[in-house]
Amino acid sequence: MSPDSPTAPDVDGGAAPSVRRALDETDDQGPTYGDVLAASLASLRGLWRDRIFQIGLGIVLAALLLKVYVLSQSYFVEDDFLFFAAANAGDLSPEYLLELHKGHFMPGALFLVYVQTAFGPYHWLSAAGTMLILQGTAILAFFRLVWELFGRRWALLVPLTVYALAPLTIPVLGWWSAALNAVPFQLAIVLALLWTVRYLRTDNSLFAWWATGAVVFGMLFSVKAVFLPPLLLAVAVAFLYPGGLLSAARYAFWRHRAFWLAMVAVSAGYLLLYLSRQNASTTGEGASVPVSEVAGQLVRRMIGEVFPTVALGGPFQWGPVTPAGGLVDPIGFVLLGAWIVLVAIVIASLRVRRAAWRAWAILLGYLVFADVVPTIIARGAVYGEVGSDPRYVADAAVVFALVLALAFLATREERAREWVGNAGEERRRRGRIQLLRPPRNVWAAAIAVTLVYAGSASYSTYTYAQTLSGDRQREYLANVRASLEDVPRGAGLYSRAVPDDIVLDWNGPRRLSSYVLSPLADRGVAARMYSPQESDSAYVFDEEGHLVEAAPTARANAFRPSEDEDCMESWDGLMSWRVWEVGGIEQVATIGYTSEEDANLVVVVGEAEIETELPAAPDGGFWYVPVSERDNQFTLFTDAEKTCVTWASLGHLFPAEQVAEEDEEAQEGSESEEPEDEGTEDTEAPGEG
């Protein structure tokens, strides 16, 4: 029997599908879960000795080692901190799980975040390790998918290499918050396709349930999963069901109506749930009305530059570089070369087999509807440069590898229909490439192209790892951990924005240290960070993550006695100033004073009226009062007979050493510009001296 015979048994023990239509009468007592599991385990016995399987596992292992290297250079950044902070601040509730994050609906991802936060906040090994396991599982499942579709063939190693080493999957894996969406979704794509194929071939309802479960699993992590059912139907109609596209579609709904209607119901239900959460969202970070110019730039970058370059092993050099890694702005000859290679692949596939156009149509449709349209809706009103981020098309790596296989290889259904179809000249005209072994020159070309791709993809992966700044974030969090282990008792822990390379400034209050860093503190210290208390000492985190003494700046909203006075002038203890409005949890009223005994103090900002007590400070001291109210009037009520106020300020606190350096530089600059002005202030700001 010819080795390409569709009726020849596969190494895994399965036989090729029958070309006849299944009987209407089905056995109610189909294989159970135990039967399927036992058959799967039995099929593995012979596979371990199969050369194709062994080489395939070698490819998977090499790909995982490259990904381990990337993860070793990466670390938590940007949205990762926001995820941990949100999980730490709330409970595991429906409100938490169903909340949108910058337009993403991902209850499954948020559940993983909550579990990670509960057992190991900011623990990179476990967080990255989980994503690596899911990515490895997706690659192995893809190997099983193409084996299922095409049978045992050496050519399977080509699409396996394309997906396993795909640079498209690297940036999204190296950024944990992005991996939470994309990696489980890639696994869902592969499993849904695999179990759909098995269901259509066996009519075993168990596989139908598994395929539906895989779709739902994908929906728990990515909104793009709403396009999974159309992808499944497109692949089935184009390459599994008999006849032309229209007749295949009619047959699909006649033969498996319940399955496809269930898929429609799942998609519709999910879409309604997502839209309801969109309307309920309070963050304003969901869908928006696209701007045509921005949308056009997005499409040009995503489809015209990023996808062809990175899908074919580029871009070799990444840039511009962001805190989360490099973007894609390919050099002209790299982009031109990518398009030439892609067009050559398409033309070659069309010459090899007439059905190849269906595969490329599926890829184009997926890119447009699953990648471009959601990105335009979510980011099309902001800026077109976001299209340079390969993370938005990372999931297309799976579809591209599958389409590449479908464009050159015939599925077992197609081979079976060709085998029993018209004989003679018709078979030679239509079926030669599907039934006979390809010539040696074709094999040589395929091997050469695959090796070039593997080298290019590996190099691009290596250069991407060089754009990661994991050492910086790792050192920052190590300093934070060390500082939180020895927090001064009774000290005020006041909030301050973390550096831009940790969380970007557009995240507003969510980038404050009280929100971002509190998951690393014990409950008592975290409570002091969430709700800062009045204190005679102040501490903030500096740019390196150290907890250091804090001070206000004298450049804004700061007041001192006149040069010939020791104390602030007051009207029977009342002092009031016009100030710039600041507000927020990071706003602190700083009072410098001397007092022989404890004295009362009232701080008023807008509607906020805070009564406090100044501890005795015969030699002078400072008292820090958190006040989040926003207003342009700052008022103090003091006991004029007991208290001498020497400093009053309202605003943010900064590392005292930084404030002292800035004040010294400002004073030196002032003296150099106006040498005749020798007047200086008599009172030092907090943290100076």
Q: 625-679 pLDDT, tens per residue? A: 999 999 999 999 998 888 999 999 999 999 998 888 877 766 665 555 554 443 3
pLDDT of residue 70: 96
Q: Is the domain of 58 the same as that of 192?
A: yes
- How far apart, in whole angstroms, are the C-alpha atoms of residue 214 and residue 212? 5
Residue 118 counted as domain residue: yes
Cα 651 from chain centroid?
34
Dihedral sign of CA atoms 559, 565, 567, 571 in order: negative
- Segment 512-545, tens digit of pLDDT: 999 999 999 999 999 999 999 999 999 999 999 9
Q: In this structure, are 158 and 275 located in the same domain?
A: yes
Which residues have C-beta within 8 Å of that of residue 422, sequence separation ≥ 6? none
Residue 46 and residue 183 in one domain: yes
Look at residue 625 and tell me if it is in a domain: yes
Q: What is the pLDDT of residue 33?
A: 58
Q: Provide the Cα torsion 217, 400, 169, 302; round to 10°.
A: -100
Q: Is 292 part of any domain?
A: no
- Structure pTM? 0.85
232-267, pLDDT tens digit by residue? 999 999 999 988 899 989 998 899 999 999 999 999
Residues 461 and 561 in one domain: no
Same-domain check for residues 462 and 591: no
Which residue, among 468, 471, 482, has the nearest Cα to 545 in the 3D structure? 482
In this structure, is residue 487 part of a structural domain?
no
423-449 residues labelled b (16+ CB within 10 A) or e (exposed)? eeeeeeeebebbbeeeeeeeeeebeee
Helix H or strand E segment including 72: helix 51-73
Q: Are residues 461 and 563 in the same domain?
A: no
Instruction: Check residue 19 and give its pLDDT.
Output: 38
Cα dist. 639→238, 562, 575 in Å?
A: 85, 20, 11
Per DSSP, helices labelled H in 220-312 are: 228-239, 245-255, 257-280, 292-299, 307-311
Whether the CB-CB separation of 29 and 127 falls below 8 Å is answered with no
> What does the pLDDT read at residue 326?
92
- pLDDT for 340: 95
pLDDT computed for residue 506 by the predictor:
81
Regarding whether 564 and 461 lie in a shared domain, the answer is: no
Are the C-beta atoms of 600 and 578 separated by less than 8 Å? no
What is the dihedral sign for C-alpha 110, 111, 113, 118?
A: positive
Residue 546 and residue 480: Cα distance in Å, rounded? 6
Q: Is the separation of the CB atoms in 650 and 634 below 8 Å?
A: yes
680 found inside a domain? no
Helix/strand/coil for 325: strand
pLDDT at residue 31, rounded to an integer: 63
Query: In this structure, what are the phi and psi dihedrals at residue 254, rounded to the nearest 5 degrees?
Result: -80, -45
Q: Is residue 498 part of a domain?
A: no
Identify the three-state secondary structure at position 569: coil
Total count of domains within the chain: 2
Residues 222 and 105 in one domain: yes
Task: Let me know whether 462 and 564 are in one domain.
Answer: no
Q: What is the pLDDT of residue 49?
A: 77
Range of the domain at 394: 39-280+302-415+457-466
What pLDDT does residue 16 have? Answer: 44
All residues at 6 or more sequence positions from 213 whose CB lies less than 8 Å from its CB, including other chains: none
Give the pLDDT confidence score for residue 439 in this predicted structure.
Answer: 66
- Report if residue 475 sits inside a domain: no
List, in order, residues 6 or more apart from 98 with CB less than 8 Å away.
Answer: 105, 107, 277
- Decide which of 449, 466, 483 is a domain's last residue: 466
CATH number at residue 593: 2.60.120.260
Does residue 388 lie in a domain region? yes
Residue type, 455: G
Question: Final residue of a domain: which of 400, 435, 466?
Answer: 466
Same domain membership, residue 236 and residue 92: yes
- Give the residue from 466, 499, 525 where a domain finishes: 466
358 shares a domain with 229 = yes
Residue 164 buriedness (CB in 10 A; 0-12 / 13-18 / 19+): buried
Regions of the chain with pLDDT less than 70: 1-46, 279-290, 380-382, 418-439, 665-689
Are 461 and 568 members of one domain? no
